[in-house]
Amino acid sequence: MAGLKIENVTKAFGTMHALSGVSLDVKNGEFVAVLGPSGCGKTTLLRAIAGFETVTDGQITVGDTVMSSPSVNVPPEKRKVGIVFQNYALWPHMTVAENVGYSLKVAKVAKATREKRVEDALALVDLVGLGDRRPANLSGGQRQRVALARCLVSTPSLVLFDEPLANLDVHLRASMEEEFAEFHKRTKTTIVYITHDQAEAMALADRIAVMDHGKLIQFATPRELYQEPRSEMVAAFIAQGMVLPARLLSAPDNGHCKVQLLGQDAVFRCAPDQQQVTAAKVCIRSSDIELVDGGGITITVKRVIYRGGGARVDAFPVSSPELQLTFDIADPVTLSEGDTAHIRVKSGWVIPQGIRNNADRSVWRVWRKGPDQCRNFRSGNQDPARCRHQGRRGGT
């Protein structure tokens, strides 16, 4: 197995930049998920790593070998990169063993060696004894494992998964998730796993690369993405965090800042180098909200959905009806639509404002691109802090 280094990769289709300055360092044996909304560039990145797409700029290295750059393009079959596709792509007229051993047969590997390697690959994915079956006589999960064995048989340097569970029903997905996790633990294969399903990415990956509009927004562990999102996009995308405006009342002290949120003072977690800005954005999770008898933030309940054991409540603060708050309450559920209630926000995270790494820099570009340079072209909001720092900050 080998590591993968993606340095400043850009891929343009005419004037359309499917990838813009993407950098990722995947360690040998690491499981990295690439996550993002539809059209963010996941498939283009996978195709560039596999060699199906050239790069316009930047460099892709597997182990010590440069595979892609504007002047180098190692063909896919010479990259030793295995791919597991969403639709399995198995030959229906071949047995499982024939499917798995096909590439070795084409490469004219001797029969005895071929059989041994097929057997070993089937053992790796727990399919011993099923070599004589045809794909039609396998379950969806077993077919996906045959596809994985087929890619492992040629001892790849790394394996790319292209939304491998997208075609499976919800129960099978859960059990395949477990199997992939177990497979990775056992074999320490370097894996790049493309998905738009964040639960899947969170469950499987050592680190997750969150992409948006062709850019890498944050590359971090699942826990860090959840607890310390470095941008509004990541905060809102991961586990549907609530992004709310707040006032920052103090400089960071031991990883915490005083904030004023919806008229209430609170102490939230913040980056140690959080800048002193007046207009901050904070991210809170439903578990950060608790009902209180009185005082706190007054809310109006918009919707209550019973979920067994309790309910999910959508509400808005009376002082800022344009905002939405979502939280869970346990049985017995006493709230209903139109009720007034009071909540307290126990904790939260101040979304950092500043640039510390490549992923953050790409967010900054988002801010600079609007007709007004201090306007976020996605949210349409203006941020005075961005305007103030604009003269100092680089990045285009």
Ligand X SMILES: Nc1ncnc2c1ncn2[C@@H]1O[C@H](COP(=O)(O)OP(=O)(O)OP(=O)(O)O)[C@@H](O)[C@H]1O
Residue numbers of the site for ligand X (CB under 6 A)?
A: 13, 16, 18, 36, 38-44, 196
Element (H, E) at 58: strand 57-62
The residue (of 41 and 82) whose beta carbon lies closer to ligand X is: 41
Q: In angstroms, what is the minimal distance from the CB of 392 to ligand X? A: 32
The residue (of 196 and 342) whose beta carbon lies closer to ligand X is: 196
Q: In angstroms, what is the minimal distance from the CB of 206 to ligand X? A: 21
Mapped onto helix, strand or coil, the DSSP state of residue 146 is helix
Edge-to-edge strands of the sheet including 207-212?
81-84, 158-162, 191-195, 31-35, 207-212, 215-220
d(CA 268, CA 128): 53
The residue (of 204 and 210) whose beta carbon lies closer to ligand X is: 210
325 neighbors 242 (Cβ within 8 angstroms) = yes
> Which amino acid is located at 106 in the chain?
V
Mapped onto helix, strand or coil, the DSSP state of residue 334 is coil
The residue (of 21 and 101) whose beta carbon lies closer to ligand X is: 21
Q: In angstroms, what is the minimal distance from the CB of 160 to ligand X? A: 13
The residue (of 12 and 66) whose beta carbon lies closer to ligand X is: 12
Other C-beta atoms within 10 Å of 305: how many?
Answer: 10
The residue (of 13 and 91) whose beta carbon lies closer to ligand X is: 13
Q: In angstroms, what is the minimal distance from the CB of 47 to ligand X? A: 8
Q: In angstroms, what is the minimal distance from the CB of 16 to ligand X? A: 5
β-bridge mates for residue 207, sequence order: 32
Alpha helical stretches, state H, 208-350: 222-227, 232-237
Mapped onto helix, strand or coil, the DSSP state of residue 328 is strand
Q: In angstroms, what is the minimal distance from the CB of 216 to ligand X? A: 12
**What is the crossing angle of helices 96-106 and 111-124, to 10°?**
130
The residue (of 344 and 365) whose beta carbon lies closer to ligand X is: 365
d(CA 195, CA 113): 35
Q: In angstroms, what is the minimal distance from the CB of 161 to ligand X? A: 13
Other C-beta atoms within 10 Å of 199: how many?
Answer: 12
The residue (of 47 and 207) whose beta carbon lies closer to ligand X is: 47
Q: In angstroms, what is the minimal distance from the CB of 95 to ligand X? A: 32
The residue (of 43 and 298) whose beta carbon lies closer to ligand X is: 43
- Residue 354 neighbours by CB under 8 Å, 6+ apart: 271, 273, 274, 275, 360
Q: In angstroms, what is the minimal distance from the CB of 170 to ligand X? A: 19
Nearest residue to 208 via CA among 218, 185, 199, 229: 218
73 neighbors 97 (Cβ within 8 angstroms) = no
Place of tokens 């040629």: 154
